[in-house]
Chain A
Amino acid sequence: MPRPQTKEITFTIDGREVTAPENIMLVDGAKHGDVEIPVFCYEPKLGAPVGACRMCLVEIEGIPKLQTACSTPIKDGMVVHTQTDRVHEAQRAVVEFLLINHPLDCPVCDKGGECPLQDITYGWGAGTSRFIEPKRHFKKPLELSPLVAIDRERCILCYRCVRFSQEISEDYQLILLERGAASFVGTFDGRPYVAPFSGNITELCPVGALTPSTYRFRARPWDIEQGGTVCTLCPSQCNVSLTVRDEKVLRVLARDNDGVDDGWLCDKGRFAFQHAHSEERITQPLVREGVALLPASWEKAYAAAAAALKKAGPKAAAIAADETTNEEAFLLQRLFREELGSGNLATPGAALPIEVTRALADPALQARVEDLEFADTVLLLDCDPLDDASILDLRLRKGIRRRGVKLAVASAHPTALDDSAKVVLRYAPGGGEAFLVALDAALSGDEGNLGGGASAAGARAGDVRALRDLLDGDVVVVFGERLLRSESVANALLNIVSRLGMRGRAGAGLLCLPSTTNGRGLAEAGFAPGHGPGYQPLEQTGRGLGDIADGLADGDLSVLYLLHADPLRSLGDRARWERALGAPTTTVIAHESVMTEAVREYADVVFPAEAYPEKEGTIVHPDGRVQRLRQSISRSGDVRATWQVIVEVAGRAGLDLGVLAGPMASHQLFGAVPFYAGLTLDTIGPQGTRWVEGQQFDIPEWTPVKLSVPDAAPAATNGSLRLGTFRTLWASKEVDVSPALAFARPDPVVEMSPVDAERIGIGHGDEVELGSNGTKFQGRAVVRAAIPAGSVFVAEGVGELALTEALVEVRALTSVGAAPVDGDAGQPATDAAAGEPTEVGTAADQTGADTDTHPAEDASGEPRGDTR
């Protein structure tokens, strides 16, 4: 889809000739001439202007009435006046009108000092009010949700929050209730506004009406400073500005970067900052003595780790995940490869042969985040952006709503974007490869493989054809790294890319959502078994994730070095990792910021790791943007920088890494990765740099290879159902230790279709047990109409999930819920949080103890005053 073209025009504002792009709104155009026009309701991020607050009235020659500058596009030759008596009078009147019902409680208001209403009143108001009648009153403040407090008396009814809910996050929960001067913002029936992006309204609010509950009365603007960095809680890597008071993070604000996040944050990113100051933080080194993990000096911990590594040599293995920076990964792989002679370096992502990895990482194939907004079609493959890289969910909604992007979804588990998709194709859990084979066949006209692949995937050939028909023009394929289980899957994907002619096509491309925050950066820094820094070939490859687990269990490997990785929670196959970690020969060295089960039970040496606000270094966004983490607060307790710890351990193990400061590590990395050539911390800058934009890989264009239809996913039988897993945004250690997000912590659930639930006799909310081969998993049944019959789904990283078989037996333990009925009121907390308001659901008791924190009962917000 072509990007809008801009043409420069000249117009006159307050007697000055100003040049600006044609058709931008006058409010923005005026800025090109250094003229500020005050606004309340106008916010370009929210889409088309509404012209509700009337603050931006200006005089335009040739138009008798005053016009709202927020909704008037500038034209060549337009003559605008913002400083006439008429304009001043109208602006003063609007300020006076807005303050009629505003309590003017600025001295106790959290917004005081950073409040647009305050600023505009000083700048454009009359300074006095002629209003002497009683103001309207509301109960205040109320919980709009567990995260947001609402003070309706301060509200100036600018509609920003409501527009966000209706048109950006599309959760459709916030509405204006009542009419005229009695209007107030609320939700249907006073229910809590629980949605994955709800916190953004606190930043949109131009007054102190919506404030984050975590920031209320914590600081005033003159107490705080802002530190810009990047959130590392998921692969979206949103740019954030941390509000810091006395070395503590008190608030997370979006730091607009259109190339990354469009200025929005998810509630995890906005509220899980609390993990940095949690009681659960590990703040000093720990060394296991006997069975107990005891605090130790840094010297002792360094020595213990170095000794274990030296002894293990090539029998050492390392796993990096989550907030690991490129520099940390790069230094650790140097230690492993150069000193220990071990290439056993794994991440939660895929380990594929180097040719395939390089083919997928080809700069000519990489889509940008903005392409999601301008593509003709976006295909989501085995991923749900909401859970895999949450902020992309909003970007896709924007593209679909404002630019008519067509969305196709192909996944096993239902996604939050299904309702916005033109085609939704559901295949059986594990049927991803077969689906890709079918799609490739559909594109190449191979009817045999199309039928065979579709049938093996548990999908209909007709649906595959319908999906194929959408793949026209600029196509962006967004896929979850989890899809790349084997080389044959990657081949199928590359075939499709080749058949769609995506290589080198601007506006089209691949966007891989990695399994861990910096998945792309780890691979580029050479933290992989199959390639070195910059995807350079190795003489000898190391073990992948599964082989590491088996090697440890069998005693072939003896040291496991965990760089922010939690094998028991986020690497799947828990039983296998329990065997690996629990093997008598295994020594575990871990860098971790909060206490996890793996650390508590199995770690022998624990280095306290920084929370992301304490970190410096670089990470790479899934679209190839190298971004910079900057330390915003001092490190808690005895915590030392992870790069420093690695350097110290390496030194004691016999390798001088030659790094004395963080930037030196970055410098080494940029020198070692060929395509980072020329990069410096300065050139990365506040918005990051996409290295893929000036680089080319010297690789031949992919020629489609012959694919064979994989074995069909096992079919559900009467006694057992297919097991699939899905990721949830909320399953993370940071959420677990953030008190504000306690209500969002996911409980173990078993999602199943109404058909299966009815057949087995399970009601929504019942406790159920999944079992195979003697391994069991218990959870609460969530009956969803969107789940295809024959499959059950459990969330990764929630509960002790050790099931590995494709088929599981399901049985009810207790029966607490009603029969699964469509359209019943109520939502499980996790579902509501995941923004799926259309699912079936019963069980008012599902939120359990959480309901206590919900303000449902007193959020009705009846005005008390005399307004009626």
Chain B
Amino acid sequence: MQLLFDDIDRAGLNTLAVYEEKGGYEQLRRALSMSPEEVLSELQASGLRGRGGAGFAMGKKASFLPHGDMDKYVVCNADESEPGTFKDRELMQKNPHLLIEGLAIASYAVGATRSFIYIRGEYDYVADILDAALAEAKTARHIGPTMGDEGYGLELWVHRGAGAYICGEETALLDSLEGKRGNPRLKPPFPAVQGLYQGPTLINNVETLMNAPIIMRMGGAEYAKIGTETSTGTKVVSVSGCVQRPGNYEIVLGTPTREIIYDLAGGPGEGRSIKFFFPGGSSSPVLPGTDENLDLPYDFDSLAKAGSMLGSGAIIVVDDTVPTIDVALKTAKFYKHESCGKCTPCREGTNWTVKMLERIDSGMGTPMDLDIMSSVCDQIIGNCLCVLGDAMAMPISSMIKHFRTEFEAHMEARRAEAGLGPDGALSGNDVTEDRGGPYALTGTRTS
């Protein structure tokens, strides 16, 4: 079933003319002819869950915004930075008007008159496409100070971020949008109560908002029939890693994971098998490539039950040729680099984990390090200001859990390579000469 990807590769879909030909902005006009409460109830009836990572019901979140006459905002989170996730890019690049229409519908539903699309700085060309589409929409009076008969007006801006992962965290995004350093805020208060410029704010992912016109077209109840009971609708899944046809695939939620990885993305290369996969972006706990896991229906609850999560819907497949420690180190390094540094467990924990993994990789590790690493991860999970720390701790912790023997074997092998005996004693002669990695880490650097 293709809802978001319907006609996605049609030439000129990014222009208003083609989009309108397909019935574009009709749903916005229809929404404007309804009362905001009616629009909101359609969204609620659809059961649509957020597509950005947390999977919170979109209509419910929108209903948290207080009613009444005040400055309210809707912000589209287009800071798609989770490694492995590239669905929003394609959606915005090819069908920008759908996002604008969806954002306008959501804004009308919650009574916001100012809205923003916060797009990551690296998506510069996509932002250009959005800008162009927005200009067209404004010229055609789809967006602007007077949009409907009731005098509803919406001002909409495309704001480019500077390229920090943390700015995809909703409160850090708001800080960044306000011109501050992008650091997460303490919650509560939640953005729905006190968000952008202290006003009630609805923040949703690109894909979530793009579903709004579709829901309006189909009707919320009808939309809810797609997918499973608790995971309604379709989902664009980015499949990457060791597969033959990486890319974005729109699936109905509840489709078996195996179908996505093998039938759509072509599975791993000839003669290889899946060692494990990240089911929902690099921050989700990994699942070993067992039949049981591959048969999991790809929806929010099934993955949560299996100990992982659907997250942003990015499947990263790792086959048996890839050492787990390489994946662990790359993942940890990413989150260490992107940690904002505001709260202690994430700032120090990611830093520490990377140092331990580097040491293990260099042959200076011992099995005890794995225990320490697990315990460090445990102390990060749930104890931070936002979930960035968890995003590193969850996959690393799951990798140690599932592949402990591989880590241990890797340590032994690297210790042998580095010329260290089984008890850690040096079997070589000169510890400082030509041995690079391991000793550089324990030596003192003075430069």
Q: Does B255 contact A (CB under 8 A)?
A: no
**Option from A93, A175, A181 in Cβ contact (under 8 Å) with B339:** A181
Which residues of B lie under 8 Å from residue A179 when comparing CB positions? 164, 337-341
**Docked-complex contact A65 and B348, CB < 8 angstroms:** no
Chain A, residues 230-260, CB within 8 Å of chain B (1/0): the string is 0000000000000000000000000000000
**Docked-complex contact A101 and B186, CB < 8 angstroms:** no
A179 CA / B181 CA spacing, docked (Å): 10
**Docked-complex contact B181 and A176, CB < 8 angstroms:** yes
Rounded to whole Å, the gap between the CB of A121 and the closest CB of chain B is 13
Are A181 and B186 CB-contacts (below 8 A) given A94-B345, A133-B441, A175-B181?
no
Which of A50, A53, A66, A97 has the most CB atoms of chain B within a 10 A radius of its CB?
A: A97
Closest chain A residue to B384, Cβ basis: A54
A68 CA / B185 CA spacing, docked (Å): 13
Which residues of A lie under 8 Å from residue B342 when comparing CB positions? 50, 52, 157, 159
Chain A, residues 98-113, CB within 8 Å of chain B (1/0): the string is 1011000000000000
A293 CA / B444 CA spacing, docked (Å): 63
Which residues of A lie under 8 Å from residue B340 when comparing CB positions? 179-180
A865 CA / B344 CA spacing, docked (Å): 20
Chain A, residues 28-50, CB within 8 Å of chain B (1/0): the string is 00000000000000000000111
**Docked-complex contact B379 and A180, CB < 8 angstroms:** no
**Option from B344, B352, B382 in Cβ contact (under 8 Å) with A131:** B352
Rounded to whole Å, the gap between the CB of B420 and the closest CB of chain A is 16
Closest chain B residue to A101, Cβ basis: B348
A348 CA / B143 CA spacing, docked (Å): 65
A570 CA / B339 CA spacing, docked (Å): 55
Which residues of A lie under 8 Å from residue B379 when comparing CB positions? 89-90, 93-94, 97
**Docked-complex contact A134 and B445, CB < 8 angstroms:** yes
Q: Does A866 contact B (CB under 8 A)?
A: yes
Which of A131, A133, A159, A864 has the most CB atoms of chain B within a 10 A radius of its CB?
A: A133
Rounded to whole Å, the gap between the CB of B52 and the closest CB of chain A is 20
Interface size class of A (residues with CB under 8 A): 35 or more
Which of A57, A71, A93, A100 has the most CB atoms of chain B within a 10 A radius of its CB?
A: A93
User: Which parts of A40-98 form the interface with B (CB within 8 Å)?
Assistant: 48-55, 57, 65-66, 68, 71, 89-90, 93-94, 97-98
Chain B, residues 177-193, CB within 8 Å of chain A (1/0): the string is 00001000010000000
**Docked-complex contact B447 and A97, CB < 8 angstroms:** no
A268 CA / B348 CA spacing, docked (Å): 38
**Option from A48, A55, A66, A180 in Cβ contact (under 8 Å) with B350:** A180
**Docked-complex contact B337 and A93, CB < 8 angstroms:** no
Which of A55, A130, A866 has the most CB atoms of chain B within a 10 A radius of its CB?
A: A130
**Option from A65, A71, A134, A864 in Cβ contact (under 8 Å) with B186:** A71
**Docked-complex contact A180 and B336, CB < 8 angstroms:** yes
Rounded to whole Å, the gap between the CB of B411 and the closest CB of chain A is 15
Rounded to whole Å, the gap between the CB of B441 and the closest CB of chain A is 7
A156 CA / B379 CA spacing, docked (Å): 18
**Docked-complex contact B345 and A176, CB < 8 angstroms:** no
**Docked-complex contact B351 and A867, CB < 8 angstroms:** yes
**Option from A93, A101, A156, A175 in Cβ contact (under 8 Å) with B383:** A93
Rounded to whole Å, the gap between the CB of B226 and the closest CB of chain A is 31
Are A98 and B348 CB-contacts (below 8 A) given A65-B382, A90-B379, A93-B383?
yes
**Docked-complex contact B383 and A66, CB < 8 angstroms:** yes
**Docked-complex contact B352 and A100, CB < 8 angstroms:** yes
Q: Does A226 contact B (CB under 8 A)?
A: no
Closest chain B residue to A867, Cβ basis: B351
Q: Does A183 contact B (CB under 8 A)?
A: yes
A182 CA / B350 CA spacing, docked (Å): 12
Chain A, residues 119-135, CB within 8 Å of chain B (1/0): the string is 00000000000110110
**Docked-complex contact A183 and B347, CB < 8 angstroms:** yes
Closest chain B residue to A73, Cβ basis: B188
Q: Does B359 contact A (CB under 8 A)?
A: yes
**Docked-complex contact B445 and A181, CB < 8 angstroms:** no
User: Which parts of B116-165 form the interface with A (CB within 8 Å)?
Assistant: 164
Which residues of A lie under 8 Å from residue B339 when comparing CB positions? 179-181
Q: Does B343 contact A (CB under 8 A)?
A: yes
A159 CA / B186 CA spacing, docked (Å): 14
A159 CA / B184 CA spacing, docked (Å): 13
Which residues of A lie under 8 Å from residue B432 when comparing CB positions? none
Top 10 closest pairs, chain A to chain B, by CB: A181-B351, A93-B379, A183-B341, A180-B339, A97-B348, A133-B355, A51-B186, A180-B341, A100-B348, A65-B382
